[in-house]
Amino acid sequence: MPLQSMVPMLKKAQTEGYAVGLFNAHTLEGIMAILKAATEQRSPVIVAPVFLPRRAAVALIRELAADLPVPVAIELDHGRDFGAVMECIRVGFTDVMIDASTRAYDENVALTQKVVQASHAVGVGVEAEIGHVGRGEHYADMDALRATLTRPEDAARFAADTGVDLLAVAIGSAHGLFKGELDLQRLRQIRAVVDVPLSLHGGSGLSNEDFQAAIAGGICKVNIYTNMALAAVAAMRESLADTTVNYMGAQRAIQEAIKEVVVHCMQAFGSVDRA
């Protein structure tokens, strides 16, 4: 089916109590694995191409999605400036994320408002972040992590000030492999004062139980990359150790390894059979 915005996907997920996965991809094997998993699981999916020519990535995903019976969205993940957002809109991304979470509140709001105005004018959904989800290696102790968590009052004010479609919140996860602890009470407090769908970044360090608790607390989108990358590297090493495996065989093994991670996540998120 044609590409579609993640916004209706996430509103449905919010209403019905599950989450849709966003999966980063920077190779053909990754894109194919994500879309195959979505088709097999009959799950909506969001693909975030990274380190690829944007126009070519959108063209490829659009053509592959046209033959699939599941909804597929393409989002710019962690866009840092207005120029990157506009480029992605021009080449056909269905949704964009503007991440000014490291800036002062007023600067974050001003840039996000600008992105929302431009994106909504052409039917593109917008995600932004309040609080800050950093990388695991940046958090030497829990005090460093707590300082970056989203405050419920800031989330409510930010959503109202910007008109975003999706709000990324910091509740204890981090990019990369990071064994933090989710602040579920904080999440429930945010959910109580924010109506728009909420997203969780840094999902690779979390357990199925963490995912389910976060979804029960109001999360309806989860971003995944690191676990997919680790699975791909393991499959690559195993293929290289087998002298009978050729290049195409190694590619198939990598694709299958990534697909297994995506399938596992879709099942944990509750998005199976929701297409």
Residues carrying an active site annotation: 77
Q: What span, in angstroms and rounded, lies between the C-alpha atoms of 109 and 106? A: 5
